[in-house]
């Protein structure tokens, strides 16, 4: 796929077909993350890819809790759109049946002077992964709901003790029919001087 097509066809996929992700594809996605730029070459990332059925079931139990906790926040944000609330909550609870979930941690949290830089570096790696998934015919969605709902410390303890704080979660897989659409971009968000 042309790079430009990847950029403009990527969208958040919240519903996945049951097709598994081959190991070599998952490796390629993870490697693309490591190829990202990082502040003063910190490479401050640590990723946990959850792929086996057993591990996914275990993580889905965590996401059930996230889904419960996020409801109030969604209701506040979308008071007139109960369908949006229900759909968002459903996705968060089930991750749309994603066959792979990648947890991104900011490994170098002890670099006090570089806290923002490290966070931005991990984010760059996560975007690389989403774009690579798209270029390979897969889709994904970035989630911070587990962090917003206060479950990050539990996830850190369980999946990556000592490896820093959870920055985000990516669901990855082949999109189910349609998969979803990307919202329109807001105008006036750049200037050329
Ligand atoms: C930092 C970050 C956090 C996000 N958290 C969530 C989330 O918790 N749940 C969700 O459904 N989507 C989440 N998204 C996806 C956004 O809703 C999505 O990117 C946005 O609506 C634009 O749509 P698009 O990705 O299809 O272009 C997140 C995206 C980013 C970059």
Asked if residues 3 and 128 have their Cβ atoms less than 8 Å apart, the reply is no
Residue 143 CA to ligand 1 center (angstroms) comes to: 6
Residue 14 CA to ligand 1 center (angstroms) comes to: 10
Any residues with CB less than 8 A from the CB of 85 and at least 6 apart, and which?
A: 71, 74, 75, 78
Say what the pLDDT of residue 116 is: 87
Rg of the chain, C-alpha, whole Å: 17
Q: Which two tokens stand for residue 58?
A: 């275990």
Asked if residues 107 and 117 have their Cβ atoms less than 8 Å apart, the reply is no
Atom 30 of ligand 1 has which residue's CA nearest to it? 142
Say what the pLDDT of residue 1 is: 87
182 lines ligand 1 (CB under 6 A): yes
**If residue 123 lies in a helix (H) or strand (E), which one and from where to where?**
helix 115-135
Atom 10 of ligand 1 has which residue's CA nearest to it? 143
Domains of the chain in sequence order: 3-173 (3.40.109.10)
Neighbours of 186 (CB within 10 A): 6
CA distance 159 to 34: 19
Asked if residues 59 and 151 have their Cβ atoms less than 8 Å apart, the reply is no
Looking at the CA of residue 181, tell me the nearest atom of ligand 1. 26
Q: Which of 165, 168, 47 is nearest to 115 (CA)?
A: 165
Atom 5 of ligand 1 has which residue's CA nearest to it? 143
Dihedral angle, C-alpha 147, 20, 32, 179, nearest 10 °: -70
Atom 12 of ligand 1 has which residue's CA nearest to it? 143
Atom 31 of ligand 1 has which residue's CA nearest to it? 142
Q: Taking the chain (193 residues) in consecutive chunks of 10 residues, what is each chunk's mean pLDDT?
A: 94 94 98 96 96 96 93 91 91 96 87 82 97 97 95 96 95 84 94 97
Asked if residues 5 and 171 have their Cβ atoms less than 8 Å apart, the reply is no
91 lines ligand 1 (CB under 6 A): yes
95 lines ligand 1 (CB under 6 A): no
Packing angle of the helix pair 82-94, 53-77 (nearest 10 deg): 160
Asked if residues 183 and 163 have their Cβ atoms less than 8 Å apart, the reply is no
Say what the pLDDT of residue 171 is: 98
Say what the pLDDT of residue 189 is: 98
């Amino acid at each position: 796929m042309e790079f430009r097509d990847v950029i403009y066809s990527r969208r958040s996929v919240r519903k996945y077909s049951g097709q598994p992700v081959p190991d070599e594809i998952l490796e390629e996605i993870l490697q693309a993350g490591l190829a990202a730029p990082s502040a003063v070459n910190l490479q401050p990332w640590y990723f946990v890819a959850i792929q086996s059925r057993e591990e996914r079931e275990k993580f889905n139990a965590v996401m059930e809790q996230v889904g419960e906790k996020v409801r109030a926040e969604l209701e506040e944000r979308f008071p007139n759109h109960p369908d949006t609330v229900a759909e968002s909550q459903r996705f968060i609870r089930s991750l749309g049946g994603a066959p792979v979930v990648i947890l991104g941690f900011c490994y170098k949290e002890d670099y006090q002077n570089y806290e923002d830089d490290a966070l931005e570096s991990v984010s760059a790696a996560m975007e690389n992964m989403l774009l690579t998934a798209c270029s390979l015919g897969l889709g994904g969605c970035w989630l911070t709901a587990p962090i917003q709902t206060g479950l990050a410390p539990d996830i850190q303890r369980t999946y990556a003790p000592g490896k820093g704080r959870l920055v985000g979660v990516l669901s990855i897989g082949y999109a189910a029919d349609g998969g979803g659409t990307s919202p329109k971009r807001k105008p006036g968000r750049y200037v050329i001087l």
